[in-house]
Amino acid sequence: MRSSFVIKGHICYCPEPARLVIAPDSYLLCENGVCRGVFAELPAACRALPFEDMGDRFILPGFVDLHTHAPQSAFRGTGMDRELTEWLTANAFPEESRYADLAYAEKAYRIFTDELVRSATTRAVIFATVHTPATLLLMDLLEQAGLGAYVGKVNMDRNAPPSLCEESAARSAADTAAWLDQCRQRAHKTVRPILTPRFIPSCSDELLTALGELQKQYGVPVQSHLSENLSEIEWVKELCPQAAFYGQAYDRFGLFGTNGPAVMAHCVHSGDAELDLIRRRGVFIAHCPQSNMNLASGIAPVRRCLDRGLRMGLGTDVAGGASLSMLRAVSDAIQCSKLLWRLADTTLAPLKLSEALYLATKGGGAFFGKVGSFEDGYAFDAVVLDDTALPHPQLLAPAQRLERLVYLADDRHICAKWVDGRRLF
Amino acid sequence: MRSSFVIKGHICYCPEPARLVIAPDSYLLCENGVCRGVFAELPAACRALPFEDMGDRFILPGFVDLHTHAPQSAFRGTGMDRELTEWLTANAFPEESRYADLAYAEKAYRIFTDELVRSATTRAVIFATVHTPATLLLMDLLEQAGLGAYVGKVNMDRNAPPSLCEESAARSAADTAAWLDQCRQRAHKTVRPILTPRFIPSCSDELLTALGELQKQYGVPVQSHLSENLSEIEWVKELCPQAAFYGQAYDRFGLFGTNGPAVMAHCVHSGDAELDLIRRRGVFIAHCPQSNMNLASGIAPVRRCLDRGLRMGLGTDVAGGASLSMLRAVSDAIQCSKLLWRLADTTLAPLKLSEALYLATKGGGAFFGKVGSFEDGYAFDAVVLDDTALPHPQLLAPAQRLERLVYLADDRHICAKWVDGRRLF
């Protein structure tokens, strides 16, 4: 049984990129885990429901982290003086190799999960590693915590160190099918599997062919990386000369939205043809501004994507990003959009607060279905933010307080959280 | 009497931009408020001194915030969707006008001071407002807290709202002289006055002439803004056609290092001639990366400045910057340098961690004298960082833990602080 209840507070959400709704001292109705709207007065029919008054606090849709790497959480904030491919070899691969050891994985994934619980994130799309037992463990931990997630066992059958390189395409695909079967048996409520070819350099054509088949067979979505770094793009051109651009290297195997939903992280350097294909295929873009700074990748043209009506959300991309905070991702996205406007292209207007908040909630939430808004019918995912510990010498308007929370709040200021109407704390 | 004592921990400091010293489990000697060096073993002569073992924690030089605006702290993180001149009119000036009310100023400046105490900052160069009583109050609060600071009563006699525009150049100068006299009477130990013409658009030639005289008369340094925003630079050209570049508009009045030390915030768009004059005059640059993002100003070419051997530090520039954290300023500086390299000029190599830490400590500290390092003879300004609350699944090397603290720590992880050998907490 999912719960039904009412909470009251300053309710904020973005039904569209250009529209931030702020309903002060209003009521939010949850019926069987689903949002049934925002009301200025408590409807008579709801008076019998459990009620909690959040007082002077802010109630927002839970944030959706559209791209992050759970096993990299351990080394976030270290080894930052490197670009993508060198960083993968020096930082990511050695750490990911440790997850063959389930005891280590449990220790590390518990730290990751605990932190995600305390954060503003309610749902995330997550890379695990190539290791099935550790991936299942991560899924169990997230499910137990009540978080919503897509989690992927990673596929890599080339250009990886021996400790991470799967024996063959066939073996990688067979292990993936076995993992998907185990996921079906587990029948988690909020955590689901997602196919995860790491990126084109890590996956042979044979492997991608097999994964395309698995996507059709199991009806699961797919996540990967796209056009993040200039050297990476050159490498993909060499590896895959038959593709006119990077996105086609996935599309050839149906892994670009044809066989099922797809989310691609970064798209920093996607050209017009790639963006057109992304639009036609309904592929989601996970914009990860902090990672793109730390790895010196550049700044994705978010304005161009919004203007084209692309489906898009924000990701922390830990450990390319050092912070697991989606509030930080919102301000990073705004700041980076201002720099792109200033340094590269004055036709790309900087993101407004409402646009970045939209991306971080409803934009990325759409990958999970009706998620990320307080409109009628949306999953009841919510976080409550408290700015009491951010003292101010005067009374501020709710809109100012909300913006201030985006820039200044951390996990200390998050005091309640629900996923599908189930309260996490 | 200043104190003498020894503390032990993982001692880190940057004597040069390219050199980060990490001395694990070492001893740091303070004699009469002055650092007397780092030792692997406790010298026999020091055994009688008070001793505190900080255990597995990190001891760093206190951070120096080379540019921030105390009265703007109240609106940080709000109204971020604007560029400099519009932002000044809509955000900064209305808030600064409130400091005519001493009761409001006390409320706001206490919040600011409390937060600065809890941060990693030990010294700061601070803009107050045009109001003498509120400025003196801020100086008293900072002195009582034990923080080191230069604080400036702001001068503005044009292009300001009536509530902030001083009656005349003569009146502004007379008020400034009276304020400097009151500062002399107070004889604070760690807080000193600094001349503060807001920027060229706010100050008539007559006022700048008078301030140049005051600098010679009182022997105080000067702070202002330089080449932050393209529209601002155009405006200065119109206002001051006799200056070949922005910096000359200060230099004509001796306010660019001739009459005494000068620090200029930003220098985002300084050309070769301006950078040459900065070098010749020994002017300090306060690089404020987050502010330059938020106000869409751009990214200052820090690499170029370091290569030329310019004197430079980091500033938070609250409320252009939303964060008062100098740790955040360090990671912001690194991230922005990577974007400048990627988007604008691949000859400008991104900043390394040691370089950004150097700027945030010894680089800006030099404006205060021998400050910002643990070399013999430096003021004993120190902060202790504790990463216990940032759990990790494995043992990390001290260098990794330090980098991680820079990216992940906030005031929760700062557990002790000294200025001139006096402990604040």
Is residue A300 less than 8 Å (CB to CB) from chain B?
A: no
pLDDT at B253 over 90: yes
Among chain A residues, the shortest Cα distance to B409 is held by A77
Contacts of A364 (CB under 8 A, 6+ apart): A64, A65, A66, A125, A284, A286, A312, A313, A314, A315, A372
Strand ranges in A146-294 using DSSP code E only, listed in sequence order: 148-152, 154-155, 191-193, 196-197, 222-226, 262-266, 284-287
Please determine, for residue B368, whether its predicted confidence score (pLDDT) is greater than 60.
yes
pLDDT at A65: 98
pLDDT for A176-208, tens place per residue?
999 999 999 999 999 999 999 999 999 999 999
Name the residue facing A77 among B81, B297, B407 (closest C-beta). Answer: B407
Does the structure show a pLDDT above 70 at A59? Answer: yes
Residue of A111, A339, A341 for testing the chain B interface, max B β-carbons within 10 Å = A339
Query: Listing from the earlier edge strand, what are the strands of the sheet with A34-39?
Result: A34-39, A19-31, A5-16, A51-61, A382-385, A414-419, A422-423
**Among residues B118, B178, B117, which one has the least CA distance to residue B142?**
B117
* Cβ-contact B105, B131 below 8 angstroms: yes
B292: Cα separation from own chain's centroid: 15
Q: What is the mean pLDDT of chain A?
A: 97
- Give A80's contacts in chain B (Cβ within 8 Å): 334, 353, 403, 407
Return the CA Rg of chain B.
Answer: 21
- What DSSP designation does B373 have? S
Nearest C-alpha in B relative to A81: B352
* B134, pLDDT greater than 60: yes
pLDDT grade, residue B102 (50/70/90)?
very high
Identify the closest residue of chain A to B81 by CA–CA distance. A352
* A262-266 β-sheet, strand order: A222-226, A262-266, A284-287, A311-314
pLDDT recorded at residue A83: 84
**Shortest CA distance from B230: residue in chain A:** A342
- Positive or negative CA dihedral for B193, B199, B204, B206? positive
What percent of chain A has a predicted confidence (pLDDT) above 90? 98
> Are B343 and A78 an interchain contact pair (Cβ–Cβ within 8 Å)?
no
Chain B, residues 146-205, CB within 8 A of chain A, namely none
d(CA A2, CA B143): 57
Does the pLDDT value for residue A1 go beyond 80? no
Identify residue A395 by its one-letter amino acid code: L
Do the Cβ atoms of A339 and B335 come within 8 Å? no
Within 8 A by CB and 6+ apart from B406, the residues are A77, B327, B330, B331, B353, B357
Work out how many CB contacts closer than 8 A connect A with B: 130
Is the pLDDT at A155 greater than 70? The verdict is yes
Q: What is the pLDDT of residues B306-315, one digit of tens each?
A: 999 999 999 9
A336 in reach of chain B (CB within 8 A): yes
Say if A227 is an interface residue toward chain B (CB within 8 Å): no
Domains, chain A: 5-62+373-423 (2.30.40.10), 63-368 (3.20.20.140)
Confidence of residue A170 (pLDDT cuts 50, 70, 90): very high
Strand partners, A51: A6
Determine the pLDDT at residue A420: 97
Residue B312: the pLDDT is: 98
Q: How far apart are CA A79 and CA A87, in angstroms?
A: 8
Confidence band of A82 (pLDDT split at 50, 70, 90): confident
Q: How far apart are the first and last CA of chain B?
A: 18
pLDDT of residue A2: 64
Among A111, A97, A68, A50, residue whose Cα is nearest residue A360: A68
Mean pLDDT of A23-39: 97
Percent of chain B whose pLDDT exceeds 90: 98
> What are B152's strand-pairing partners?
B127
Biggest CA–CA distance in chain A, Å, is 66
State the pLDDT at residue A81. Answer: 85
CA–CA distances in Å: residue B311 to residues A100, B18, B20, B359 = 50, 15, 18, 9
Set of chain B residues whose Cβ sits within 8 Å of the Cβ of A336: 293, 339
Predicted TM-score of the model (pTM): 0.98
Other CB atoms closer than 10 Å to residue A371's CB: what's the count? 24
CA distance B141 to chain A (A): 16
Residue A352: per-residue pLDDT: 97
Query: A264: which strand partners?
Result: A224, A285
- Phi–psi pair at A360, nearest 5 degrees: -75, -10
Report yes or no: B18 at the A interface, CB cutoff 8 Å.
Answer: no
**pLDDT greater than 90 at residue A84:** no
Stretch B336-365: mean pLDDT: 98
The mean pLDDT value of chain B amounts to 97
Is residue B239 scored above 80 in pLDDT? yes
Determine the distance in angstroms separating the CA of B363 from the nearest CA of chain A, rounded to an integer: 20
Q: Which of B97, B338, B340, B357 to mutate to test the interface with A (most CBs of A within 10 A)?
A: B338
Confidence of residue A395 (pLDDT cuts 50, 70, 90): very high
Cα–Cα distance measured from residue A129 to residue A151, given in angstroms and rounded to the nearest whole number: 10
Percentage of chain B beyond pLDDT 70 is 100
What residues in A contact B297, CB-CB < 8 Å? Answer: 342
pLDDT at B2: 64
B336 CB near a chain A CB, below 8 Å? yes
The answer to whether the Cβ–Cβ distance between A338 and B294 falls below 8 Å is: yes
Residue bearing tokens 């029948």: A187
Q: Compare CB distances from A296 to B80, B350, B392 and report the shortest one's residue.
A: B350
Which tens digits make up the pLDDT trace of B285-340?
999 999 999 999 999 999 999 999 999 999 999 999 999 999 999 999 999 999 99
What gap in Å lies between CA A227 and CA A232, rounded to an integer? 7
Q: Average of pLDDT values for A48-62?
A: 97
Q: Is the pLDDT of residue B214 over 70?
A: yes
Interface test with A, best of B58, B73, B81, B231 (most A CBs within 10 A): B81
Does residue B1 surpass a pLDDT of 70? no
Cβ of B276: how many Cβ atoms within 10 Å?
15
From residue B366, how far is each of A424, B146, B280, B357 by CA, in Å?
A: 49, 19, 17, 14
